[in-house]
Structure 1
Amino acid sequence: MERYGLIWSTGAKGRSPDNAAAEGFFGRMKTESVHPGHWEERPRGEVLALVGDCIRWHDHGRIKRSLGWMSLVQYRQSQGTAA
């Protein structure tokens, strides 16, 4: 992370509420987009496309009751925090 100037998006050690959301997302992503296929046997570009599709669905297509039955992007737009 430091080598490429990236910042961790999850919380610090022991900050389970922050980490739980990230862990949940990556768990769903693996289960729904990469597994049960053998992703390690797929070409890199194919795996990246699957991950990209999963992220787009997570942000734009997945509605949540806790967000008033809106997707994450719709909710952020309704709050004035997304373009």
Structure 2
Amino acid sequence: RFNSDRGCHYRWPEWIRICMDNNLTRSMSAKGCSPDNAAAEGFFGRLKQEFFHKRSFAGVSMDGFINMLNDYMVWYRDRRIKTEFGMSIMDRRRELGLVA
């Protein structure tokens, strides 16, 4: 299943063919229903702002980029402070007894 936010690719004939060839079901969020994808959009916006736009990747190999992205994801999960909690998500999970 492939979900779209009604981008232009949704009706592109070649995209429709690719989905059909690979047994993918196209679906889309309800028009004007932003909560459907708000969490994902918010995360990818932060990823671009905090990771991608702040550095140059000139001369970085694909493996190097993947390692840098992995390091960011670990930082995001384990150490990034979420202002709502005043601590990282992992610290919050520990506080709630959800992880050791």
2:29 and 2:36 in contact (8 A); partners too = no
Could you tell me which runs of 5 or more consecutive residues in structure 2 were left unpaired when the two chains were aligned. 3-27
- Aligned residues: CA RMSD: 2.8
Are the structure 2 counterparts of residues 54 and 41 from structure 1 closer, same or farther at C-alpha, using a change threshold of 3 Å? same
Q: How many equivalent residue pairs?
A: 73
Per-residue deviation, 1:16: 3.2
Question: Is the 1:29–1:51 Cα contact (8 Å) retained in structure 2?
Answer: no
Deviating beyond 4 angstroms after TM superposition, the runs of 4 or more aligned structure 1 residues are: 36-41
CA contact (8 A) 1:62 1:71 kept: yes
Structure 2 CA distance for partners of 1:29 and 1:76, relative to 1, 3 Å: same
Partner of 2:79: 61
Match in the other structure for 2:99 = 82
Give unpaired runs (5+ residues) of structure 1.
3-11
Asked if 1:30 corresponds to 2:58, the answer is no
Between Structure 1 and Structure 2, the one with more helix by share is 1
Of 46, 63, 68, the match for 1:45: 63
The normalised TM-score by structure 2 is 0.54
Q: Does 1:72 align with 2:89?
A: yes
Q: Name the larger-Rg structure.
A: 2
**8 Å contact from structure 2 (residues 77, 88) kept in 1:** yes
Deviation at 1:17, TM superposition (A): 3.1
CA distance in 1, matches of 2:40, 2:79: 18
Residue identity in the other structure for 2:81: I
